[in-house]
Amino acid sequence: MGSYALGKQETILWALSEFDRGSTCLDVGACDGIWQILLGDNFVMDAVEAFEPNAQKLQGYRTVYNMDIDDLKYEWYDLIIFGDVIEHMEVEKAQRVLNYAYMRCTDMIVAVPFLYEQGAIYGNKWEIHIQDDLTKEKFMERYPGFEPIVEFDNYAYYHKGGKG
C-alpha cells in the first residue's frame, strides 16, 4: 500500500530539525521505501519489511531485514519510524514492539490512521488493519508516552514524549 501524504511534510521538517545529518534510522514496514526517499540523504537508514516482494524492491537502505519487526533484535537507532504499521498488529504485539523500540532510540515516529478498515492488498496479508478501531483517544490509551507531531481527524503522527 504505502503511506499517506497527510502530515508527511510537517513530520519530515520535525525529523530534520531534531536529528543531525548522518543519524541512524530504522524504517519499520518500509513497503515502497518512501521514508528513505524523503529522509535518506540525511540519515543512515535500515529497513524492516515483512512482505518479501516489497523487501526485494527496496533500495538505498544500508540493510533490509525481510522479517516481522517482532522478531528483529537491535541495540540502538537514533530514530525509528513506524509509518502506518501498528494498525496492522494486535494491540498486545504493537505494545510489545513499541515498548522494545522506545528504550532503543532517541525518538520515534508513529504514524497511524484512525477508524480505517483495510484488507489484504496485492496478496499481502500484512496490509490487513487489525486495529481498525483506533482513534486519537484509543491511541493514547493503548500507547502511553507519545505526543503528537501533527494530528488530523483521520490520521496522526506521534513521537516519544520528551527526549531520551
Domain CATH code at residue 67 = 3.40.50.150
| Per-residue model confidence (pLDDT) at position 115 | 58
Burial class (CB in 10 A: 0-12, 13-18, 19+), 140: middle
**What predicted TM-score, i.e. pTM, was given to this entire model?**
0.88
Domain span at residue 104 reads 8-160
Q: Is residue 3 part of a domain?
A: no
Element (H, E) at 51: none
pLDDT value of position 163: 46
Nine cell digits for residue 129: 488493519
Segments of the chain scoring below 50 in pLDDT: 1-2, 126, 128-129, 163-164
Number of domains in the chain: 1
Residue 2, in any domain of the structure: no
CA distance 38 to 126: 23
Per-residue model confidence (pLDDT) at position 32: 87
Q: Quick one: cell of 17?
A: 530539525
Residue 95 placed within a domain? yes
